[in-house]
Amino acid sequence: MEKSVGVKSQEGTVDNGSQEYAIRQHTTEEVDVEEQVKRPWWHSIKEPGSALQIVIAAALAIAIGLSVSSTVDDIPYAAPTILEIPGALWLRALRAAVLPMIVTAMILAVQRLRELSNGGNILARWTIGYYVLTTLFAIVHSIILTSLVWRTLMTQASAESLNVEEDDKETFEERESTDIADVVVQMFESLIPINVVNALATDSLLAVLVTSIVIGYLIDGRTSYILKAVVEVEQIILKIITVLIKLAPIGVFFLILSNMFRLDVRDIGQNLGVLIGGSLVNLALHLFIVLPALFFIFTRKNPYSFWFRCSPAWMTAWGTASSAATLPLSLKVVRQAGVSNTVSKFTVPLGCLVNMDGTAIYFPICVVFLAETQGHSLSPADYVIICLLSTLASIGTTPIPSSSLVLTVMIAGSVDVEITGMYAVIIAIDWFIDRFRTMTNVSGDLFAAEIIERLSGFNDQVGHEDDADNGVRDERERGHGMV
């Protein structure tokens, strides 16, 4: 039953007379939560879109894909292409939900931060500072391991392997022509759109995010009908995402299976094996040592239990190889893990666009791979340049599959590493390593939400409720008649 007094919604201070949309009654929610707690652990296997279903789907796809690709000499091109259709459609649907999700999440988060005298500034500073810090950690330990361990295992490739195919020359030359200064300028220009409508139409997510922050700050939540529309759009998107999450095991299965058909294990030589192995070890070090250590230091909680509670997000990230496509699920799991609504809506979308630790880790080993296979030794000064450019490039990388390939050429050119035929090897295997990079990127965003909430000391008092899905406060708080 609705109250006659004013209420304070999760997004800002509103009045019941003009903003009744903020009230939603879900009387059966607590009962459902209690029933879920009483269920045995294996019950989640039957729940559509559960973490166990995603794991099983991924394992089946890998097993089937490896067995077929290792036994069949010539897999028809049409086979993986047709098999990819269900997964591609599911991924496109997820991508379609990302842009409105970013717009609504950032507007509502900024509206909530406006209520505080300086809480918004504190949260923003901690978020940006933490993301820059973890990116630097990722690059530094990647460079150290690559220069001391993986570089020594690489061998100079034959002249035939270094030759560039005629069909690839034009593409390589185009990517080599990319200047460092141009990339830096483009990165800053991408923050401010010339045409907001065009930014929305072309999925310029960073420009959309900045625009959403400005709009969220300027909207007057007490009288704005725009805010009412934003809340309604968010509710629609959440319903769509709920359905897509239930379909996640199917989408992940077909995406992985089609890509496994394209993998030829027999063609992996020593250099490529070192590239794959070194990349995975570097990513694992950051994911299982560096990030958990930071999480424990700042929160004094078990990082691995938190990571496993958020497993649907990073498993989906592995299957889709897209941080952007995983964003709706990332927001959902951090809310379920207890992170406050405003902090999660601010930190997770921002991290999806600028916190690319996995990508930052991959840049150094790719450049060293290109250098060592042609007998080119990098100097300490070269490694410093790689570190600085990798930091900028990882921030400027779009959260879509294989977006780092162009920037890899730019960084290699900055240290006078020639692009040879071995770059085609990086392209051929990028789809595989990209999955682990994306999983690391998304995991970094998940850890960051909890850490930043603790560092900033910000909690909007609705952090442990499921208002991200329902758009409401708990009945107890509404009963207080807060305005």
Q: At residue 349, does pLDDT exceed 80?
A: yes
What's the whole-number mean pLDDT along residues 251-261? Answer: 80
What span, in angstroms and rounded, lies between the C-alpha atoms of 189 and 224?
30
**Percentage of the chain exceeding pLDDT 70:** 73
* Residue with the two structure tokens 């901690």: 126
| Per-residue pLDDT, 420 | 73
Winning range, highest mean pLDDT, from 148-152, 206-210, 474-478: 148-152
Interval 456-476 mean pLDDT: 48
Judged by DSSP in three states, 75 sits in coil
pLDDT value, residue 182: 66
Q: Is the pLDDT of residue 438 over 80?
A: yes
What is the rounded average pLDDT for all residues in the chain? 75
Does residue 5 carry a pLDDT above 70? no
- Neighbour-count burial of 301, counting CB atoms closer than 10 A to its CB (0-12 exposed, 13-18 middle, 19+ buried): middle
Of the given ranges (4-8, 126-130, 273-277), which has the lowest mean pLDDT?
4-8
Per-residue pLDDT for 429 more than 70? yes
Model confidence band, residue 26 (pLDDT cutoffs 50, 70, 90): very low
Q: How confident is residue 63, by pLDDT bands cut at 50, 70 and 90? A: confident
Mean pLDDT of 189-198: 83
122 burial (CB, 10 Å; 0-12 / 13-18 / 19+) is middle
Extract the tokens encoding 349. Answer: 């979308």
- Percent of the chain exceeding pLDDT 90 equals 13
Q: Which residue has tokens 């490529």? A: 272
The answer to whether 145 touches 281, Cβ cutoff 8 Å, is yes
Mean pLDDT across the stretch 326-344?
A: 87
Query: pLDDT digit string (tens) for 370-391?
Result: 888 888 888 888 888 888 888 8
Taking the CB of residue 165, how many other CB atoms lie within 10 A of it?
Answer: 10
Q: Write the pLDDT tens digit of every residue in 100-128.
A: 888 888 888 777 777 665 556 788 888 88
Q: pLDDT value at position 77?
A: 77
| HSE of 260, CA atoms in CB hemisphere, 13 A | 21
Query: 13: helix, coil or strand?
Result: strand
Domains of the chain, each with CATH number or no CATH: 41-456 (1.10.3860)
State both tokens at 252.
């992940």
* Tens of pLDDT, residues 284-323: 999 999 999 999 999 999 999 999 989 888 888 887 888 8
Predicted confidence (pLDDT) per residue in 224-235, tens digit: 888 888 888 888
Of 14-23, 176-185, 328-337, where does mean pLDDT reach its minimum?
14-23
pLDDT at position 180 is 59
**Range of weakest confidence among 162-176, 265-279, 286-300:** 162-176
pLDDT of residue 460: 62
Name, in order, each residue with C-beta under 8 angstroms of 176's C-beta and a sequence gap of 6 or more: 409, 413, 419
Which residues, at least 6 apart from 238, have a Cβ–Cβ distance to it below 8 Å?
Answer: 468, 469
Q: Please, which pLDDT band fits residue 34 given cuts at 50, 70 and 90?
A: very low
Q: Which of 86, 83, 78 is nearest to 64 (CA)?
A: 83
Provide the pLDDT for residue 280: 93
